[in-house]
């Protein structure tokens, strides 16, 4: 009896040891999880509560290096979120060379993002958004991980993959949402003493989904949250609510209802209806749980 149990334990152990290797062999480079890029998540823990079917984790690899992580929704041809470490840019926004993700087409393809060619492969078109989808759409290409939150030129270039992009109203993209990105960057520079983990995502329409080119899902709202576990402990009172975590939701549709983000009717006409509401991490998680019907927890242990 004793002997059999030991044998069983031994063979189970051996099998478990072999599995990762076997898994790689079968699946090539396609990632079933974020195991190659867990560094981009607080305590190496991706958000919990996302139902996994239909989502493809992408470790965003460019020039032989991982730069951030995205969870891609194949049906939407758009990311649900991108997760990254904030690091102020040491230069300008790069010239955009838009890229695609070969892994989404063939599971054994290169794990590096690639620039779009003049003639785009039909298999790429079927699997993901392409620059043509945005032409004439009245939406701009909105970064989840914005290039100006990324330090090196390569880091910034890597954000120009369409798997990091959702259709965003131009006035919202260059207006209130861009302002939020600047505020978060400011808080990082002024008070964050270590790593700032950011997760930024899309919130699709609850009903009456919208698409550009009948292919790419348009978010009704965008959301963002950060976790800075190590910060200046003598914060001015006005800044205290913003640490260690804070979050925001922004209106990507000026005609949306006002339950989630109220409209400031006194705002300049060009940006009216594209308000951003800052809120606690907990409030954002309640909204996400309701709207995505998934009990999402973004940062392990609420980043405490």
Ligand X SMILES: *[C@@H]1O[C@H](CO)[C@@H](O)[C@H](O)[C@H]1NC(C)=O
Name the minimum Å distance from CB 102 to ligand X: 7
- Among the listed ranges 78-86, 220-228, 230-238, 255-263, the one in contact with ligand X (CB under 6 A) is 230-238
How many angstroms from the chain centroid is the CA of residue 125?
21
Termini Cα distance of the chain: 47
Q: Which is nearer to ligand X, 88 or 262 (CB)?
A: 88
Q: Which is nearer to ligand X, 64 or 238 (CB)?
A: 238
Q: What mask, x for binding ligand X by CB under 6 A, covers residues 85 to 124?
A: -------x-xx----x---------------xx--xx--x
DSSP the chain: -HHHHHHHHHHHHHHHHHHHHHHHHHHTT--SSSTT-GGGSGGG-PPB----TTEEEEEEEETTEEEEEEEEETTTTEEEEEEEE----SSPPPPP--EE-GGGT-TTS-SB-EE--SS--HHHHHHS--HHHHTTSS-EEEESS-GGG--SHHHHHHT-BGGGEEEE-HHHHHTHHHHHHHHHHHHHHHHB-S--EEEEEEEE-SSS-EEETTTEEEEEEEEEEEE-SSB-SS--GGGGGGSSEEEEEEES-TTS-SSSS---TTS-GGGTT--EEEE-HHHHHHHHHHHTTS--B-SGGGG-
Q: Which is nearer to ligand X, 158 or 199 (CB)?
A: 158
- Tell me which residues in 132-161 interact with ligand X (CB under 6 A): 136
Q: Is 240 in the site for ligand X (CB under 6 A)?
A: no
Give residues with Cβ within 8 angstroms of 277, minimum separation 6: 248, 249, 250, 260, 261, 262
Q: Is 303 in the site for ligand X (CB under 6 A)?
A: no
Q: Which is nearer to ligand X, 34 or 139 (CB)?
A: 139
Q: Is 211 in the site for ligand X (CB under 6 A)?
A: no
In this structure, the number of other CB atoms found within 10 A of the CB of residue 106 comes to 14
Give the gyration radius of the chain's Cα atoms.
21
Let me know: does 198 contact 184? Beta carbons within 8 Å: yes
Name the minimum Å distance from CB 119 to ligand X: 6
Name the minimum Å distance from CB 133 to ligand X: 11
Name the minimum Å distance from CB 129 to ligand X: 12
- Among the listed ranges 55-63, 204-212, 229-237, 277-285, the one in contact with ligand X (CB under 6 A) is 229-237
Q: Which is nearer to ligand X, 41 or 191 (CB)?
A: 191
Name the minimum Å distance from CB 117 to ligand X: 4
Name the minimum Å distance from CB 86 to ligand X: 17
Name the minimum Å distance from CB 8 to ligand X: 48
Tokens 């907990």 sit on residue? 282
Given candidates 11, 65, 75, 232, which one binds ligand X under the rule CB under 6 A?
232
Q: Which is nearer to ligand X, 51 or 186 (CB)?
A: 186
- Tell me which residues in 164-203 interact with ligand X (CB under 6 A): none
Q: Which is nearer to ligand X, 109 or 263 (CB)?
A: 109
Q: Which is nearer to ligand X, 208 or 236 (CB)?
A: 236
Query: What does the binding site for ligand X look like in residue numbers (CB under 6 A)?
Result: 92, 94-95, 100, 116-117, 120-121, 124, 136, 232, 234, 236
């Amino acid at each position: 009896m004793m002997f059999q149990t030991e044998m069983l334990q031994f063979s189970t152990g051996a099998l478990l040891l072999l599995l990762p290797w076997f898994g790689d062999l079968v699946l090539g480079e396609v990632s079933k999880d974020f195991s190659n890029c867990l560094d981009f998540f607080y305590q190496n823990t991706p958000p919990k509560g996302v139902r996994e079917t239909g989502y493809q984790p992408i470790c965003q690899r460019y020039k032989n290096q991982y730069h951030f992580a995205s969870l891609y929704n194949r049906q939407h041809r758009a990311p649900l979120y991108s997760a990254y470490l904030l690091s102020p840019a040491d230069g300008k926004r790069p010239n955009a060379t838009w890229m695609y993700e070969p892994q989404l087409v063939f599971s054994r393809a290169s794990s590096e993002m690639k620039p779009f060619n003049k003639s785009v492969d039909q298999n790429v078109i079927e699997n993901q958004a392409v620059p043509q989808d945005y032409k004439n759409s009245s939406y701009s290409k909105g970064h989840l991980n914005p290039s100006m939150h990324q330090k090196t030129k390569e880091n910034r270039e890597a954000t120009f993959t369409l798997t990091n992009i959702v259709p965003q109203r131009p006035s919202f993209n260059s207006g209130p949402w861009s302002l939020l990105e600047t505020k978060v960057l400011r808080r990082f520079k002024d008070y964050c003493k270590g790593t700032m983990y950011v997760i930024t995502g899309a919130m699709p329409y609850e009903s009456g989904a919208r698409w550009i080119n009948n292919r790419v899902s348009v978010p009704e709202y965008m959301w963002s949250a950060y976790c800075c576990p190590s910060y200046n402990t003598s914060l001015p009172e006005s800044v205290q609510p913003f640490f260690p975590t804070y979050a925001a939701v922004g209106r990507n549709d000026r005609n949306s209802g006002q339950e989630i983000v109220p409209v400031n009717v006194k705002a300049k006409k060009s940006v009216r209806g594209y308000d951003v509401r800052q809120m606690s991490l907990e409030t954002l998680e309640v909204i996400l749980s309701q709207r995505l019907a998934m009990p999402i927890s973004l940062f392990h242990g609420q980043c405490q």
